[in-house]
Structure 1
């Protein structure tokens, strides 16, 4: 790797107005990024012109943020990946969405249910790691079709790639939606299996994989690539806890790239997990390593050294989360690093 043009995740907070979006494009240009993952589907709402999703309530004024971002990035050197949250559709401790067409209001029966029979819509909080709000249940056929249609809409834009986030279950204690359980019983009959923990895990893993496969077929039919944000601890956090077998998706050609969320606070932990992924996959081809810049504020020396160490492992890309964490000092250090490796 002779160059360093990082990818950067850009959250929807940067898209709430035309003015904030223009500032975002300028900052990306200053950092000299190679790819911008621009979040255009937040929590069941949109930052583009959608026939399926309501406009995000956070928008200061109605406008197509994705179209404007594409226009303002014209002539820049970076690629745009349109980032959509897939199964996460709202937040805890919030009122219901104002729009009647929001999926939470239109199809509350699609929300996943825990092992005690409680819908996530009835949660006011959750103490499980990185479970930020209610999810739709990928074990429901209507959910898989709905998320495919969203990806199809996004693929109509002049982007290189669709980027999936929250393409998983919130945790293994979820997935007990009554509609999904009926589908599970049919699945058991088709597979000739008996009910049990292993069978239910297989069903849920298969459901998410079918969701990815449907999206992949649609996105690629429109000439776009597909990537997914995934967990860095493959066996435990990804597959066992979240039913997210992303290495299988990559190896079976369902996705073009996996963007690994290696957000550890300590560089040694990050490098150890990245090396484990390289060992499991055989290389870091088609694997991008996402680093949590937010964990290294005031520790930029350590962060730059971490970037150097990750680059030595030869991933397809180093990706930073998120643009809001890249202050002027880090921006300057990144540009200096780019000059150093040319």
Structure 2
């Protein structure tokens, strides 16, 4: 265990004392009072990530909303762009193959908004950003970006991309170093923000697969074009000779600059999308699910989420602190909270509840509250409800963590939704 994690052992030990022993060694946690900045005890994000396979019919969406609302959750992050496809009506990307059995008039995002808003839930459009395929075979639609624009895909050092998810790479990714690919991603995000009354846009997979990407021709040629004016004629000639038999000559010659270039492509894309969303709908909350280990995110994935917070590109960051170890998760949440607080933004703890017992989820929610996070988002609805067939896990979390209702944390820097402004004006009218 690293010294960073050891630092949080006393906190976790203190939290464990709040868990009275039960028969058989089980423990029922008492609810900790939140110690957070910028949110009162009655304000807290209580979110669920809802993977797209739970959004395939009006009935399944109705069940998601019912379970979330009845168990004290106040926000849903619904996955409407999973693999370069659409769980909504789109002219830019093909309809998701999972919806083949539904009438073309069925719009999962519109249905989630209709039912979720009626229940008083906030609905965030969860959109996988760079990740566009991982099924092994090619997409069925000829219009899918993988089929139409293979030149937009991130490549490894051998100039290959993957169509099948594996342990080191989830599949095919668009590269933000290709400006056409970046524009496409931008347009997809803006299309959703413009046409749907979403409460938020939620980035996911906004990164490279790993440190071995991206060596696409787009990335290599743009990096070379940036570096050439900054090197001497002799160095340029030597690199030209080397590049004749080594396509990675320039990244190998300037590794630090190459890493900065990789990160910058992702950061610029996030900034462009965020700023343009705010330009058309300043009330839409922009958030991102990110690798909780900020060093790994930065160095391996090109995911510089601390800079995104510092520049105001994100209203909230959700570190995917999915580990089973509560001290490790606490250290990761503390890192995100400190960064968000310095930027005047929020951090929500992303908890991997699908693979840990209830007690562990409860301990992590308690740790997040104590550390000053503005709430938590659990991954995922399908995993912890066995695809909607059991509410036992949700019952336990609600009983131990969500005993009273909570409104969502107020974001003073975000323009209120026009509907909420109208409602406030209505309340203060004479005779109202």
Counterpart of 1:338? 402
CA apart distance, 1:169:
0.5
CA gap 1:329/1:126 in 2 versus in 1, 3 angstroms: closer
The answer to whether 1:45 aligns with 2:85 is yes
Q: How does 1:1-342 map to 2 (within 5 A)?
A: 1=34, 2-3=41-42, 4=44, 6-59=46-99, 60-61=101-102, 62=104, 63-92=106-135, 94-121=136-163, 124-128=164-168, 131-156=169-194, 157-189=196-228, 195=250, 196-223=254-281, 224-235=284-295, 237-279=296-338, 285-296=345-356, 299-327=357-385, 328-336=391-399, 337-339=401-403
Moved more, 284-293 or 76-85: 284-293
CA gap 1:125/1:21 in 2 versus in 1, 3 angstroms: closer
Q: SS of the residue aligned with 2:98?
A: coil
Q: SS of the residue aligned with 1:58?
A: helix
CA gap 1:179/1:39 in 2 versus in 1, 3 angstroms: same
Tell me, in whole angstroms, the C-alpha distance in 1 between the residues paired with 2:289 and 2:229: 31
CA gap 1:209/1:44 in 2 versus in 1, 3 angstroms: same
Tell me, in whole angstroms, the C-alpha distance in 1 between the residues paired with 2:355 and 2:83: 24
CA RMSD of aligned residues (A): 2.1
CA apart distance, 1:217:
1.8
Structure 2 contact 154–174 (Cα < 8 Å) conserved: yes
Tell me, in whole angstroms, the C-alpha distance in 2 between the residues paired with 1:280 and 1:202: 20
Which one has a bigger Cα radius of gyration? 2
CA gap 1:153/1:253 in 2 versus in 1, 3 angstroms: same
Render the CA deviation track for 1:178-208: whole Å, top value 9, x for unaligned. Answer: 1221122223247779841111111111100
Moved more, 16-25 or 38-47: 16-25
Q: SS of the residue aligned with 2:123?
A: strand
Moved more, 69-78 or 149-158: 69-78
Q: SS of the residue aligned with 1:29?
A: helix
Q: SS of the residue aligned with 2:336?
A: helix
Tell me, in whole angstroms, the C-alpha distance in 1 between the residues paired with 2:228 and 2:301: 24
Q: SS of the residue aligned with 2:181?
A: helix
Render the CA deviation track for 1:250-308: whole Å, top value 9, x for unaligned. Answer: 01111111111000012122112222334555569411110000121xx2123212211
CA apart distance, 1:98:
0.9
Between the two proteins, the alignment pairs up a number of residues equal to 334
Q: SS of the residue aligned with 1:83?
A: strand
Structure 2 contact 45–374 (Cα < 8 Å) conserved: no
Where do 5+ consecutive residues of structure 2 fail to align? 1-33, 35-40, 236-249, 386-390, 407-432
Tell me, in whole angstroms, the C-alpha distance in 1 between the residues paired with 2:111 and 2:335: 40
Q: SS of the residue aligned with 1:70?
A: helix
Moved more, 275-284 or 37-46: 275-284
Q: Which has the higher contact order (CA 8 A, sep 6+)?
A: 2
Q: TM-score, normalised by structure 1?
A: 0.91
Render the CA deviation track for 1:23-52: whole Å, top value 9, x for unaligned. Answer: 111122122212110111010100000011
